[in-house]
Structure 1
Amino acid sequence: MLTDFARDHAFTIAWFGLMALVWFGWGQEDPPTRWRWRLGVGSALGLVLLGVFGAAVGLRWSEGSALEGRYHWFGLLVLVELLAAGIGCAVLWRRERRRWTAWWVALVVALHFVPLAFLLDDWSLVVLGLVQFGTLLALLPRLRRDDATTSRLVGPVMGVTLLGFALVSVVVFLAKTGAPW
């Protein structure tokens, strides 16, 4: 993350840790046996980042944020994201295409990073969103050939990209700000 706001930086690391845990967890819905321990390790690393940097957010809560004066836009972005994911999932369920739920939610998440980059004044989020978007599109042929739930591949892809971004952000945070506490 490339921001001047330590609180935003810490929050993003903690949030991406949580989301990595969630995506690795969703990937455990139907993984190949040899992937299970890796998904567990990814979830555990996400949990550690959540704990350490969640505490850092609490310690820095009174510091500034790029969202000052723009919280309403952030709320609107989250609302639109939730509606897009929810409506898409409902349509997939109704059309008996439930196995595509993870892919659809991941696509919405990847695309939401572009407007989020504007709100947080952090263009690195655009890079993350584009990497996720491109990877999700690249997975389509394989997912179409298989009848398995899309979470089998999408969960690890989203988990790895979020965890990787968070770990790079930790290095940047330590170099710019120092210890999280």
Structure 2
Amino acid sequence: MLTDFARDHAFTIAWFGLMAFVWFGWGQEDPPARWRGWLGAGSVLGLVFAGGFGVAVAKLWSDGTALDGAYWSFGLVVLLEVLAAGVGCLVLWRRRQARWMAWWVALIVALHLIPLALYFDDWALAVLGVVQLAGLLLLVPRFRKNSEPTSRLVGPLMGTSFLVFSAVSASLFVAQRGLPW
């Protein structure tokens, strides 16, 4: 993350670490057996970032944030995205296409990073969203050819992208600001 706000930077690392944990977990719905250890390791690393930088967020809470004055509109954007994800999953479930739910939610998450980049004035978030979006679109032909749950590949894609972003962002944080604890 490229921001002047230490709290926002730490929060993004912690949140994306948590998201890595969640996506690696969803990827464990039906993985090939040889992937299980890697998915578990990714989940643990995601929790390390979430916990370590979650503590940093608490210590930096009184610092400024790019969201000052924009909480209401940011909350509205997030609410609309959550509704889009939920309604999309409901439609998929009713059409007996529940295996596409992970892909749909990931699509909403990737698209969410574009307005997030605008709120935080950080193009790195938009780049992450575009990378995720490209990966998701590249998976569509494979998913159309089989009946496997989309979480099998979507979970590792999203988890890895969030984990790598967290690791790079944490490295930048430490290089710019030192250890946050």
**Same fold flag (TM > 0.5):** yes
Q: How big is the alpha-carbon RMSD for the aligned residues of Structure 1 and Structure 2?
A: 0.5
CA distance in 2, matches of 1:90, 1:75: 22
Does the alignment pair 1:113 with 2:113? yes
How many aligned residue pairs are there?
Answer: 181
- Map 1:70-89 → 2, pairs under 5 A: 70-89=70-89
Identity of aligned residues (%): 66
CA distance in 1, matches of 2:146, 2:42: 25
Please tell me the residue identity of whatever aligns with 1:128.
L
**3-state DSSP of counterpart to 1:28:** helix
Which residue does 1:21 correspond to in 2? 21
Q: TM-score, normalised by structure 2?
A: 0.99
CA distance in 2, matches of 1:180, 1:32: 38
Please tell me the residue identity of whatever aligns with 1:124.
A
CA distance in 2, matches of 1:29, 1:148: 10
Q: Residue by residue, what CA displacement relative to the aligned partner does 1:50-108 show, whole Å, maximum 9, x if unpaired?
A: 11000000000000000001111110111011011001001001111000000000000
- Map 1:39-78 → 2, pairs under 5 A: 39-78=39-78
CA distance in 1, matches of 2:166, 2:139: 23
Please tell me the residue identity of whatever aligns with 1:44.
V
Unaligned runs of 5+ in 1: none
Which residue does 1:101 correspond to in 2? 101
CA distance in 2, matches of 1:158, 1:80: 21
Which residue does 1:157 correspond to in 2? 157
Which residue does 1:143 correspond to in 2? 143
Please tell me the residue identity of whatever aligns with 2:103.
W
Deviation at 1:144, TM superposition (A): 1.0
Q: TM-score, normalised by structure 1?
A: 0.99
CA distance in 2, matches of 1:30, 1:83: 26
